Structure 1
Amino acid sequence: MEGYFSGMGKFEITTRKNGEFQFNLKAGNGQVILTSEGYATKAACLNGVESVKKNAADDGRFERKTSANGKAFFNLKAANGQIIGSSEMYETEASRDNGIASVMKNAPEATVEDNA
């Protein structure tokens, strides 16, 4: 149970070198579990965060994929089918599914840390 209380998830907003805004969703242990695309404005990035919070509770919004080199990953999609976040590459489908479960658990109540 100790790990359960190690902190809640959080969204970290950062600025890319090209000036775009991006967010990472981190689990309570600090591991990045979802990364966004780049956004032209901070407002659009914050809208992306809200979209993740809203859509993460729906397992049907997660697109489970396998890359060309056999690694498992997932995309989280909005109701309109747009990708709002992607995972890292996982060695196994089971690890990928654990990543999805972590996003589902952490995203809805995650705080937002603005580092942009």
Structure 2
Amino acid sequence: MIVIWQRLLKNTKISGITLFPLIILRKPEYCQDPVLVNHEKIHLRQQAELLVIFFYIWYVIEYYYHFFKLKDAFLAYKSISFEREAYAMEDDFNYLETRKIWSFWKYI
């Protein structure tokens, strides 16, 4: 389900965030952005296959690993395997139909 929650994301650069089972977008018009929505749907699948809590634990650990290694918050975010998979496949609108379980592992 897609929810528009402008107040939550108001003072951030974040266009959308996935908090299982919701995709939260900053602006109503982002619902019409198929690439952004597909990116977030990929995160939904990742979260489901890791039983949600393990996704968040892994996400935070991987973020801090890259942050301390790269000393750059944005590069650390872009280096997270979940983000790498989602960015790499966000233009492929059939990806979720053929995606194998734990596909993010290829991006570690």
In the superposition, the TM-score normalised over structure 1's length comes to: 0.28
Structure with bigger RCO (C-alpha 8 Å, 6+ apart) = 1
In the superposition, the TM-score normalised over structure 2's length comes to: 0.30
